[in-house]
Amino acid sequence: MAGLVRLGYSLAKKSILSTTTRVISTTNQLNIKEIRERTEGTNLVIEGVTLPSPRTELLVRPPNVTPPLPNIDLSLTKLPSSEKPPCYMCALGLDVKHTDVLILSQFVRSDGCMLPKRITGLCKRQQKKIGKMVSMAQKAGLMINLTPSNSKKDPTKRKDYKKFNTYFDETTIFKKREMRWTERFKFRANAK
């Protein structure tokens, strides 16, 4: 039933958007390609070659986990949450801090923006955790070469309190906000 609804929704979306955007593509339209030209006798051959990712050789994966499938969204499969394989960051079990810029910089664009979940292939919790740690590192001025062009790169030239060194506590990422004393008082008053 849900599949039918999704199909109908996508058809409706395509019928509306087809006038402005091209939806049909024979090749994977976003692939990184290099254009090569060579001559074979009298013919000039121009071809686009998909480039291999520069990261593949350096990739670290836990040994007992199947290779990652970033293109397949795990949430769409019918597995219950207990049977889902852990995402690669959960399986690696690394204790990443916000100062580990060599790891965090792998999850950002060149403007320092965190990549979305469909690209990183992380689980929901890890995506949130790493996203928060990226913003911590940015606030602490540790990744200033990965920032938008209009931002103040040098942390010492920032305004007011932002120009001083700040460190963060990673345990606060998933901490629930404590109820204030006054709020607790109101809650009790309503219960009676």
Partner 1 sequence: MSAAKRVQQWATFARSWHIFDCKWQDPYESAHVIKKYLMGMHKPIYHPMNDCGDVVVCINSREIALRGDEWRKRAYFHHTGYPGGASWTLAWELHNKDPTMIIKKAVYRAMTGNLQRRHTMQRLFIYPGENVPEDVLQNVTNQIRQIRYVPKRLDHIPEEEVKNYPKVMEYPEDFVVK
CA torsion 77-83-87-88 (nearest 10°) is -120
| Residue 25 contacts partner 1 per CB under 8 A | no
Contact segment (CB under 8 A) with partner 1 among 7-15, 16-24, 91-99, 181-189 equals: 91-99
For 45, how many CA atoms within 13 A lie in the half-sphere containing its CB?
Answer: 7
| Residue 65 contacts partner 1 per CB under 8 A | no
Question: Binders of partner 1: how many residues, by CB under 8 A?
Answer: 49
> Rounded to an integer, what distance in angstroms lies between the CA atom of residue 169 and that of residue 95?
13
CB of 73 to partner 1, least distance (A): 11
CB of 87 to partner 1, least distance (A): 11
| Residue 181 contacts partner 1 per CB under 8 A | no
> Rounded to an integer, what distance in angstroms lies between the CA atom of residue 58 and that of residue 66?
17
Q: What's the alpha-carbon Rg for the chain, to the nearest Å?
A: 24
Give the DSSP H or E segment for 37. strand 33-40
CB of 112 to partner 1, least distance (A): 10
| Residue 120 contacts partner 1 per CB under 8 A | yes
Residue written as token pair 């976003």: 30
Contact segment (CB under 8 A) with partner 1 among 4-12, 74-82, 108-116, 183-191 equals: 108-116
CB of 161 to partner 1, least distance (A): 4
Give the DSSP H or E segment for 49. strand 43-50
> Which CB, 28 or 39, lies closer to partner 1?
28
